[in-house]
Structure 1
């Protein structure tokens, strides 16, 4: 794995290492200038060891998330890369027939092969060239009545296999020599040896055109990409190989020539990939010069890059899903220092009173935070490896079904990267929280009087609002020259270092330059400010010169307030709405607009800004923030499952976007807005913040149910009151903790519901297409009528045949070329595609679902009736639509035909009666016969999840018989009778047709296996996200321990007025329980709402993904139940500690 999000890991490492160096420099400056402050910070670190452990556990999670994601990605990438190297061996470049130059040609002419060999013979880098034949062929051990319909016939050119000999490695050691084979001898691979239970000297039977041919096994060789099949379809394992000289294989199979050329580059298995890439390009150039119908289809360099790409994708997914946990971890860091500051508030006030500056307090907290930081990042990186091992263990079971072994691979670079990310993120959060803690009023701090609520009700005037807004503008204005200064210094230093010394590598020079530049900027800020202040205060002549800077800066600080920042939230929010919705009108970058994250994020900022502004002009804080919170949640949960304003016009009902709805009535609505997986995180943060406002400002409402149940609660009522009153008295602290729980539970609920419902759709009964058993025919031994073949087979259980099979249907497979008509209403792309000819039984019995139909067809039955009666009608799977590829079919750019329109666009491009049939000319690449067809239906992706051969163009069987001469393969589908085991039926059919080499499988079993893999991936991602609950639990523990210390005197007062020790313990326990339960319920409710609206939205239902809505309560309750139980255990210890505080000692406690 070399990149994440398209950026090199080395770039991340250098950037983070540079930041870490800057952090070290900052700490060095603080230590040199104020060693006493560093000692005070270290003293606080060691004073309460249990608290320190809790803080480190909470702080480490961000590093743990990144570390486990990177190690998992590295492991997956490395394992896949190893699998590719193992399969390819010394094969470096692969050449196939070029279908564009010679459509339908499947074999390579001997003269073309020889021309290419001669052209490459003078290149010293090429040490191997061989034309080979690789085709499917059924094999059997007739003595044991064992067969393998997936066997692979491999014909090798004995004379030209130089450089490839080592791939014929005998299982017992040494190399197997093709030249030593007698005319009736073959090599077989280890995989075929196991499946047929064959030994050296025994006979293996091959079937060609239903005729058996026997060969003696001369040697067992190891499996690789040359000697056996590397991949197989879903639900089956790749078959082993039968290896013989090319001439003998061609005679046996009646093929015209080899079908693939493999080229080996010097250097062995793991050779220079850049050299491989160069040889690949040179080979393509030679082919073009020679003008022969061949093409380079892939090389080792490209395939090795796949492993790195897959690893990067895993890392990206894990980090995206881990963003909730990372956000919760950063909030815990912030909360921790807020609580530490609250504990030492009087102490800090007295320190300020005797001359300590705010900067000194900030530096002291930074020093303490760095001690937590270094330790927690180290622990997180180490534990990340353990978490990665657990994930790799689960992934191993999943990848094993694809024939890939996953082995843990710990890359020191990944650990270093994770450690640096943890250090940098934690330092930034500590620095911000330290700055906030140091900004206190000396008098209020000494007297322990609460700071004024910035969001409390005020009656400020318009002028104060303008002054505050301008003060913020002044602060933001200075960011521009400061940023320019940093950029100028970085560029200048890089240029200077490059000029001074040629010894610096580009990356080292960049890292050194950035470090030096940032250091210069820091010194500049410190000493230029001091010089400017000195000149301003001492020399009057400089007052006029520096007043715009120093004077305006002081004026800005004096008038800066929350309303100013609210105005800027409003400005930025409106800008986000406009750029996100109408960005294409102003040429905004594609990652900003039109983008859903920018549009919805701006809307949320505007909503919160309106709440602050309303309070500023005198509105009650509770009403304002409750209203704004509810409106924001309502906005994100639109459309509701009912119409709240029934008298509005039809265009307004069902709005998911009120802004566009209102502006759209006036013709000012925006166009399409795109969103991606980032909306998962954005929506969670937005609805969590909004709901927390509602809860925090409505404490009396939360107490109402308990007041009604006063009689039932009895003596516990005082404990319940204090358990709710104290958290809501510390709004900021409670809001942060609630946010941690709510965010993570929200993520878990949404992921669980979406995964569960998608699995139900793509792995449900619809995926079976109405059939129970699939029988895939072998092109070398075709069966025309499966009913007759089974009836005449002496090995078919006749009872199973008579009582187990209710209906059979068939598809005849061919490859066609489609050329779109110029009269079509939608754009198309010409290309090849698989063609399936349906017999009358398949048309009548299948249950394939169509997501959309052409004009004139009211339902799916009418479409299939048209296919039964006409030869020029067709339907195609959804992957041929734009954005319809992925796992269900070939993607764009794969040389296949396409309908260049989305499903939604196809429906919208015509009226409500349907779209015009899409006309293509379908031709046979071999014979050139043509016929015009009309596509009148699109098959849902749900039908092609398991049966990949249904990713095809479906036509009537007669069309394939007439224009494609019956195709090249027959597939059959069986409907079993009620009570018949489809697995037993599939085994019986495959055994009966052993000589024909068919592959029979239970479709229900394949669907179940696919569902198991899907559920395993879901459990993996959900478990990874659930790590964030550790943060919430740690936060509760930190709060509980700190609360006992903070409220010792209050505990004494409660005991003095009659509270028993048990009631004190219950109160503290219920206090933590209130926070965890509230967070869990908020996350559950919000996740439920977002999931419901997503699964019932037009984007899903119009795409044919009518998933329904089913909640996996068992899975969700397990997650939140474990979280609740663990958090309760975490709070029991401090609750017991509080209950045991002696009354007299608590009353004398002074902090």
Structure 2
């Protein structure tokens, strides 16, 4: 019986709770159960949507950070180009506030157009991503499973537009305030700002940074959360730079030592950090903070030691006489313009770092899926319709047409029942979940591993034997078990256990109660095992013996899912086809576990490549930065270019110098970002190996994919620099030296 509420397609679901209250008395008299299908579906869809938002926001944070740096850099360079004009404006009475307003209004004009275009392009990119995800998961037109369809609303576009507009305006306003600070006389003559005494300011900055950092560490330790601790310690280490400068430590040594300290601290295996700070809960914000701080520390080290890098390059390539002068000139400008070089390097490195870390960590988990883990020792999985179950699959196989009994090594069956469940000795009520009845053959032959064991049990085999031999014992999936770390994006089930964490590996046996709402029967079960994360969806639920389930809910459980172990050399695909033919009347559908794993891996790899493409969009920011800097460098260095041409540099040498300059930034960012990404990925994999479900996890690096991506990016970066480099090479010495 289907009942529709008042309201539209979705608004009517808000009345579901009231309708349930009205229907329950009548439904109980008729022996019916009221289910809020649309409300539950909408809540699941909202949760899944929130999960995707969190996922893409997490991976997009680094690209957003790179974009912020690019905006800041553009306005700083814009101000540098107009420095003389701004100095004259200040000299005739313009106040600093007017300069800030002028730059802010100019930035707002660009911002309005860019935010509108960005919102539209974002919707176009999202449309393409939805198509890829729908095809990857194979559920775009399915009746069940995760269905992904493109949907866009004016409200969503307006929110995206507003967020982009406001974020950019904040960056523009800060940039405008920074460039408004100038000495009028030096600005008019376009000379560098005189260095003012900074001892007191450095001391205040250091003390404030240390105080904030220690406060964050205390906040994190009191709440057992890792993100404030990581950020706090990083701020304390970075705040040591002004303290060291006050103490007279050279600039290079101060920035290099503190940058290395930040990188080493954040790159330490997390189990070592736990020995210092205790067990802390981590989530994706921990990765974001760690990544940003790691890149900042690394850029400090590179920028303040770039001359050493130049020396190493010259020792390797300096013997090539035609290349030596070009190399030296190409490195001179990045060494002199530390801020611009560091900012551009940070942009590029951030995105490369994110791309490598996401690709390697996701790919490693995908590659870890195996038939043995996913199939639990079986090779073929089959399901029948509920109206025509096969009560005794083992017996039916003996007379099934086309099936050779000797090809089947084992048969395991399970029944599934939708129930309400609650954990006893807690204040939580009943929540919807599934209970599965496993027959003796399944319990005897399964090899599904355990991520958690109740005290008194030493292995998964002991748990399965106990469930088979002792009624009332059960195993649950890992989705309903709380975790300290929040690295999951899935939709959590309503029913959940409490009182321990999955990472602990061992727990006291947990009493739960299961209610069949249709009959009102209840039964008590004791959870003694938690399945590994690698268990398939077909094992989600509370798994107990078929004997226990039949005794508690007679007439309500019939086996509809069957697993088949095969003799050596028997083809699973062929066996699945024969099973479907033999049990056609039962509506049986069979699949090879290997085929299921292959399909899942293919879908996951497609999604992984989608993430690579999504994060790769951020590389456009780095390429744009190189183009902007190169274009500005041609204007700034016009006279230098004239001198170079006058002393014998040919046009090709000038062009090569600009291209090598961009190559230095791009290649350094690619190499450093890749190295940092691999180190952090190894950290993630190493940490997961300590978890109960992933002891055999191995790192997998998609070298070919990364090589192709970075090769294309490097080529595009050179193309972005090619036009400014060609323009620089066409500058005539006489014109350049007369240029004012």
Same fold (TM over 0.5): yes
Q: CA deviation at 1:333?
A: 1.2
Larger mean Cα displacement after TM superposition, 968-977 or 831-840: 831-840
Q: Is the 8 A contact 1:280 1:296 kept in 2?
A: no
Alpha-carbon separation, structure 1, partners of 2:6 and 2:420 = 39
Alpha-carbon separation, structure 1, partners of 2:10 and 2:434 = 36
Alpha-carbon separation, structure 2, partners of 1:378 and 1:888 = 30
Equivalent of residue 632 in structure 1, options 262, 265, 289: 262
Structure 1 gaps, min length 5: 1-260, 466-560, 583-592, 641-653, 662-668, 908-914
Equivalent of residue 849 in structure 1, options 439, 449, 456: 449
User: Rg: which structure is higher?
Assistant: 1
Equivalent of residue 611 in structure 1, options 241, 261, 267: 241
Equivalent of residue 431 in structure 1, options 173, 186, 205: 173
Alpha-carbon separation, structure 2, partners of 1:1039 and 1:762 = 45
Alpha-carbon separation, structure 2, partners of 1:865 and 1:1047 = 79
Q: Establish whether residue 1022 from structure 1 lines up as the match of residue 621 from structure 2.
A: no
Q: Establish whether residue 882 from structure 1 lines up as the match of residue 622 from structure 2.
A: no
- Number of aligned residue pairs: give it: 731
Alpha-carbon separation, structure 2, partners of 1:930 and 1:388 = 47
Deviations 1:965-997 (A, max 9, x none): 694225322233455442332121111111233
Q: Is the 8 A contact 2:514 2:524 kept in 1?
A: yes
Alpha-carbon separation, structure 2, partners of 1:301 and 1:830 = 18
* Matches for 1:408-447 after TM superposition, within 5 Å: 408-447=150-189
Q: CA deviation at 1:350?
A: 3.5
Relative distance call for 1:929 and 1:1110 in structure 2 (3 A) is same
Q: Establish whether residue 337 from structure 1 lines up as the match of residue 79 from structure 2.
A: no
* Matches for 1:414-813 after TM superposition, within 5 Å: 414-452=156-194, 460=199, 465=200, 561-582=201-222, 593-639=223-269, 655-656=272-273, 661=276, 673-710=280-317, 712-762=319-369, 765-794=372-401, 796=402, 801=404, 805-813=407-415
Relative distance call for 1:1127 and 1:977 in structure 2 (3 A) is farther
- Aligned residue in 2 for 1:298: 36
- Aligned residue in 2 for 1:400: 140
Larger mean Cα displacement after TM superposition, 922-931 or 726-735: 922-931
Relative distance call for 1:806 and 1:719 in structure 2 (3 A) is farther
Alpha-carbon separation, structure 2, partners of 1:921 and 1:315 = 35
Relative distance call for 1:808 and 1:286 in structure 2 (3 A) is closer
Q: Is the 8 A contact 1:761 1:1105 kept in 2?
A: no
Larger mean Cα displacement after TM superposition, 371-380 or 687-696: 371-380
Structure 2 gaps, min length 5: none
Q: CA deviation at 1:901?
A: 2.3
Q: Establish whether residue 996 from structure 1 lines up as the match of residue 595 from structure 2.
A: no
Q: The residue matched to 2:447 in structure 1 has which SS?
A: coil
Q: CA deviation at 1:735?
A: 1.0
Relative distance call for 1:1059 and 1:924 in structure 2 (3 A) is closer
Q: Establish whether residue 1113 from structure 1 lines up as the match of residue 703 from structure 2.
A: yes
- Aligned residue in 1 for 2:501: 902
* Matches for 1:931-970 after TM superposition, within 5 Å: 935-945=527-537, 948-949=538-539, 951-955=541-545, 967-970=557-560
Q: Is the 8 A contact 2:639 2:739 kept in 1?
A: yes
Alpha-carbon separation, structure 1, partners of 2:280 and 2:548 = 43
Q: CA deviation at 1:1132?
A: 1.5
Q: CA deviation at 1:385?
A: 3.0
Alpha-carbon separation, structure 1, partners of 2:561 and 2:44 = 32
Alpha-carbon separation, structure 2, partners of 1:687 and 1:328 = 14
Alpha-carbon separation, structure 2, partners of 1:348 and 1:929 = 82
Q: Is the 8 A contact 1:904 1:1102 kept in 2?
A: yes
Relative distance call for 1:847 and 1:724 in structure 2 (3 A) is farther
Q: CA deviation at 1:1135?
A: 1.5
Q: CA deviation at 1:1126?
A: 1.0
Relative distance call for 1:818 and 1:283 in structure 2 (3 A) is closer
Q: The residue matched to 1:937 in structure 2 has which SS?
A: strand
Q: Is the 8 A contact 2:472 2:544 kept in 1?
A: no
Q: Is the 8 A contact 1:719 1:1063 kept in 2?
A: yes
- Aligned residue in 2 for 1:246: none
Q: CA deviation at 1:577?
A: 1.5
Larger mean Cα displacement after TM superposition, 1038-1047 or 373-382: 373-382
- Aligned residue in 1 for 2:566: 976
Equivalent of residue 60 in structure 2, options 297, 301, 322: 322
- Aligned residue in 2 for 1:834: 435
Deviations 1:307-356 (A, max 9, x none): 45544543443333322222211211110111122223233333333443
Q: Is the 8 A contact 1:850 1:938 kept in 2?
A: yes
Alpha-carbon separation, structure 1, partners of 2:247 and 2:446 = 67
Q: The residue matched to 1:297 in structure 2 has which SS?
A: coil
Q: The residue matched to 1:715 in structure 2 has which SS?
A: coil
Larger mean Cα displacement after TM superposition, 307-316 or 773-782: 307-316
TM-score (norm 2): 0.88
Deviations 1:568-623 (A, max 9, x none): 222222211112222xxxxxxxxxx5543322222211111111111122111111
Q: Is the 8 A contact 2:326 2:654 kept in 1?
A: yes
Q: The residue matched to 1:1097 in structure 2 has which SS?
A: helix
Q: Establish whether residue 360 from structure 1 lines up as the match of residue 102 from structure 2.
A: no
Relative distance call for 1:573 and 1:821 in structure 2 (3 A) is closer
- Aligned residue in 1 for 2:668: 1078
Alpha-carbon separation, structure 2, partners of 1:869 and 1:686 = 54
Alpha-carbon separation, structure 1, partners of 2:84 and 2:491 = 68
Deviations 1:388-425 (A, max 9, x none): 23223223424426448766544333333333333322
Q: The residue matched to 1:1059 in structure 2 has which SS?
A: coil
Relative distance call for 1:715 and 1:453 in structure 2 (3 A) is farther
Q: The residue matched to 1:1001 in structure 2 has which SS?
A: strand
* Matches for 1:1037-1056 after TM superposition, within 5 Å: 1037-1056=627-646
Q: CA deviation at 1:303?
A: 4.1
Q: CA deviation at 1:1115?
A: 2.5
- Aligned residue in 2 for 1:97: none
Alpha-carbon separation, structure 2, partners of 1:765 and 1:1019 = 26
Q: The residue matched to 2:410 in structure 1 has which SS?
A: strand
Alpha-carbon separation, structure 2, partners of 1:405 and 1:833 = 22
Deviations 1:647-705 (A, max 9, x none): xxxxxxx5215xx72xxxxxxx6x65433222232122111111111111111221232
Q: CA deviation at 1:740?
A: 0.8
